[in-house]
Chain A
Amino acid sequence: DQQVKQNSPSLSVQEGRISILNCDYTNSMFDYFLWYKKYPAEGPTFLISISSIKDKNEDGRFTVFLNKSAKHLSLHIVPSQPGDSAVYFCAASRGNFNKFYFGSGTKLNVKP
């Protein structure tokens, strides 16, 4: 049972525009959410996170929004750059456990 879902396998955006990656989850006990970025032939790297007590967290060009009632989070990248082209995974955890549930990833292509 996939508790974290990324329904868009791919997204193509023009350089300089906004990229919006979406993620849905089913388990209301999740209280911490993370985004990871993965380049080919490398492992995922941490990008940004958000606790369930917040609805927004910003770090430079990256902002994560959390809508608990809809069990939905999104990652906004503004402005998008060609170097942002990668696969983005959202992940969720609950309690103080480090057991992450990952989505299947969205491949972002930022066109120059």
Chain B
Amino acid sequence: DSGVTQTPKHLITATGQRVTLRCSPRSGDLSVYWYQQSLDQGLQFLIQYYNGEERAKGNILERFSAQQFPDLHSELNLSSLELGDSALYFCASSVGYGRTGEDRVSYEQYFGPGTRLTVT
């Protein structure tokens, strides 16, 4: 158990709909990351938040948005869903926002079990 929780575990919805995925980081971790894993693909970095502020952005579609709340949990909002949005969405957390030297504490990311989204 990584200490990162994600809800829901599974989500089935229709095209055009909007969903919200939730992530609670490990206790003490200030950074939250969102990744998307489509079929037979690697994990694609979407976005990173550190202590409530956006820190890095990856290949996140404009239809997707995220935020990190004062209690450090994060939500990923996916709107106008398309069939191609069906994927596993992982949340990860780390203590810091960047890597400082070889100190694993700063950069090691702990992943949640993921939310499987199916768009029909």
Contacts of B107 in A (CB 8 A): 32, 93, 98
**Shortest Cβ distance from B46 into chain A, in angstroms?**
10
Q: Residue A100 contacts which of B45, B97, B102, B104 (CB distance < 8 angstroms)?
A: B45
Flag A14-52 by CB within 8 Å of B: 1 or 0 each. 000000000000000000100010000111111001010
Q: A43 near B4 (CB under 8 angstroms)?
A: yes
Count chain A residues whose beta carbon lies closer than 8 angstroms to a beta carbon of B: 28
Count chain B residues whose beta carbon lies closer than 8 angstroms to a beta carbon of A: 33
- Of residues 68 to 120 in B, which have CB atoms within 8 Å of A's CB atoms? 90, 92, 94, 96-100, 102, 104, 107-114
Flag B23-57 by CB within 8 Å of A: 1 or 0 each. 00000000101010000111111001000000110
Q: A99 near B56 (CB under 8 angstroms)?
A: yes
Interface residue stretch chosen among A67-75, A76-84, A101-109: A101-109
Roughly how many angstroms separate A3 CA and B15 CA in the complex, as a whole number? 30
Given contacts A43-B4, A44-B90, A98-B56, contact A89 B42 (CB under 8 A): yes
Q: Does A66 contact B (CB under 8 A)?
A: no
Query: Which of A2, A4, A99 has the largest count of B CB atoms less than 10 A from its CB?
Result: A99
Roughly how many angstroms separate A32 CA and B106 CA in the complex, as a whole number? 13
Q: Does B65 contact A (CB under 8 A)?
A: no
**Shortest Cβ distance from A50 into chain B, in angstroms?**
10
Roughly how many angstroms separate A32 CA and B104 CA in the complex, as a whole number? 12
Q: Residue B109 contacts which of A41, A98, A105 (CB distance < 8 angstroms)?
A: A98
Contacts of B31 in A (CB 8 A): 98
Q: List 25 A-B contacts (CB under 8 A).
A: A4-B42, A32-B99, A32-B107, A41-B113, A43-B2, A43-B90, A43-B112, A44-B43, A45-B2, A45-B110, A46-B104, A89-B42, A89-B43, A93-B99, A96-B100, A97-B98, A97-B99, A98-B107, A99-B58, A100-B43, A100-B45, A100-B109, A102-B42, A102-B44, A102-B45
B residues at A contact (CB < 8 Å): 2, 4, 31, 33, 35, 40-45, 48, 55-56, 58, 90, 92, 94, 96-100, 102, 104, 107-114
A residues at B contact (CB < 8 Å): 2, 4, 6, 9, 32, 36, 41-46, 49, 51, 89, 91, 93, 95-105
